[in-house]
């Protein structure tokens, strides 16, 4: 082929024409390229659909996340409102247990309206109000409605708390409202405290011989809760010391007892157990009192509560308010008295009396002390209320210093009920 022919052939190839006899390679142009161009439109549509789908999924995830954040925030705010309202409830119960401005006067009336407690916490403000519960539904069945509900099984048949009867403590309705600009919680709690029907027949009630040493003073005249003489205090005067027929009261040193001691009580007049001393069922040691078991190291000072030491107890200073029980579970003075028909050597060995002794120092205790036996109340302190010793076999050598025991039914009524801690009904709004 001449050079000219070669140039013509190359130009023809560039223009897409093939010289005769030259075959076009397959798959490089023509119909195939036109097919790919057609399919590129479908790919674009699919891509757009995928992008739209992913966009919707992203938006859904975003909105779900935002909703979750909002729900979490609302739950947090609602929970905080609840906690603040409950803090207000706790503050009011502490105020009620302080026996100060929020201690309801007797007789209990529907007009009692102490000031609300208002405070702030965690960005919330809260207001707490307490009122006596009013028997608007005649729950006790006495056909009287506008009266204060005093705790009794008639109004709370399902409650495990023993019935209080006519001397029961009132049911208090504590309403706590916590608010911010967005959240609100109102919690209503009905509470009361156990008020015991104590069996006290003297400033010092005993089942045994009583020996007084030192310069102890035992005064059965009536006193107010601060130990001041009070002619208007409940119940009237009691003997300084009360024990059963056949038992003696002896003195050593210069003790003072007024009014005179009384050793003419029948055995049935004096309590044998803490349950009997408090007017509770015989099984109270495994029911009502079991919640008050306390280690000896954690007794003093007391603060309007009940503490039961299951063994001997001594203290350099017994102070505060409430009820102290020093008692071996199951101890029964009759079972440990050789002169009693119920005497049981094995039982007594397994349940020896718990002793209250060596109470020294210059502290003031207001309330009730119950002990299996007592061998020394010393020091220069003061007990305002009453003391019960249940033993029949050990002479109680009470006093080796200048301690003063003053009978006060007012202190017993005020402090022996323990703290307000029995929750009867709870409502959140």
Total length of the chain: 429
Which has the closest alpha carbon to 267: 327, 325, 343, 334? Answer: 334
Give the model's pLDDT for residue 57: 83
Query: Is the whole-model pTM more than 0.85?
Result: no
Which element (helix H / strand E) includes 404? strand 404-407
pLDDT of residue 400: 67
The pLDDT value recorded for residue 389 is: 92
**How would DSSP label each residue in 16-61?**
T---TTPPPPTTSSTHHHHHHHHHHHHHHHHHHHHHHHHHHHHHHH
What is the pLDDT at residue 398?
65
pLDDT tens for 199-242 read: 999 999 998 888 888 888 999 999 998 999 987 767 789 999 99
The pLDDT, as a whole number, for residue 397 is: 58
Query: Under a CB-based contact definition with an 8 Å cutoff, are residues 265 and 244 in contact?
Result: yes
What is the mean pLDDT for each group of 10 consecutive residues in the chain (429 residues)? 56 50 49 55 81 81 66 73 88 81 85 90 85 90 87 80 70 92 89 84 91 88 92 82 90 88 91 90 84 87 86 89 93 88 92 88 93 86 94 58 90 77 82
d(CA 425, CA 222): 37
For 406, residues 6+ apart whose C-beta sits below 8 A from its C-beta are 203, 219, 221, 223, 227, 382, 383, 384, 385
- For residue 161, give the nearest of 133, 202, 192, 121 by alpha carbon: 192
Instruction: Give dist(CA 184, CA 426) in Å, integer.
Output: 17
Number of Cβ within a 10 Å radius of residue 418: 22
User: What is the pLDDT, as a whole number, of residue 273?
Assistant: 92
Question: Vertex 266, ends 323 and 199: CA angle to 5°?
Answer: 20
Tally: H helices and E strands in the chain: 5, 20
What per-residue confidence (pLDDT) applies to 426?
86
């Amino acid at each position: 082929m001449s050079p000219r022919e070669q140039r013509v052939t190359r130009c023809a190839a560039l223009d897409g024409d093939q010289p005769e006899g030259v075959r076009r390679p397959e798959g490089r142009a023509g119909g195939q390229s036109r097919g790919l161009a057609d399919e590129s439109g479908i790919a674009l549509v699919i891509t757009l659909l995928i992008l739209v789908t992913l966009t919707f999924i992203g938006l859904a995830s975003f909105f779900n996340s935002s909703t979750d954040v909002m729900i979490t925030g609302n739950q947090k705010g609602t929970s905080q409102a609840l906690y603040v309202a409950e803090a207000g409830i706790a503050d009011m119960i502490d105020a009620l247990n302080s026996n100060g401005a929020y201690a309801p006067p007797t007789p209990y009336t529907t007009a009692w309206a102490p000031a609300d407690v208002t405070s702030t916490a965690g960005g919330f403000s809260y207001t707490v109000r307490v009122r006596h519960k009013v028997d608007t539904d005649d729950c006790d069945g006495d056909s009287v409605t506008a009266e204060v509900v005093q705790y009794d099984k008639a109004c709370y048949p399902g409650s495990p708390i023993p019935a209080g009867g006519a001397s029961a403590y009132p049911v208090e309705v504590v309403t706590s409202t916590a608010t911010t600009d967005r959240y609100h919680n109102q919690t209503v709690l009905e509470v009361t405290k156990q008020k015991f029907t104590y069996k006290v027949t003297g400033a010092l009630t005993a089942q045994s011989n009583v020996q007084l040493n030192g310069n102890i003073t035992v005064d059965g005249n009536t006193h107010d809760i601060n130990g001041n003489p009070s002619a208007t205090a409940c119940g009237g005067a009691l003997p300084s010391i009360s024990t059963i027929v056949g038992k003696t009261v002896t003195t050593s040193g210069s003790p003072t007892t007024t009014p005179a001691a009384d050793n003419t009580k029948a055995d049935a007049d004096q309590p044998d157990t803490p349950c009997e001393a408090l007017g509770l069922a015989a099984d109270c040691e495994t029911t009502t009192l079991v919640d008050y078991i306390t280690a000896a190291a954690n007794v003093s000072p007391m603060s309007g509560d009940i503490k039961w030491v299951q063994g001997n107890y001594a203290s350099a200073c017994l102070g505060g308010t409430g009820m102290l029980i020093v008692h071996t579970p199951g101890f029964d003075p009759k079972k440990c008295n050789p002169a009693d028909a119920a005497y049981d050597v094995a039982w007594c060995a397994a349940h020896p009396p718990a002793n209250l002794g060596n109470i020294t120092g210059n502290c003031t205790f207001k309330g009730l002390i119950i002990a299996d036996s007592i061998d020394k109340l010393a020091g220069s302190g003061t007990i305002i209320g009453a003391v019960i010793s249940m033993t029949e076999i050990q002479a109680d050598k009470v006093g080796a210093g200048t301690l003063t025991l003053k009978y006060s039914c007012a202190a017993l009524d005020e402090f022996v009920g323990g703290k307000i801690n029995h929750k009867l009904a709870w409502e959140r709004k």
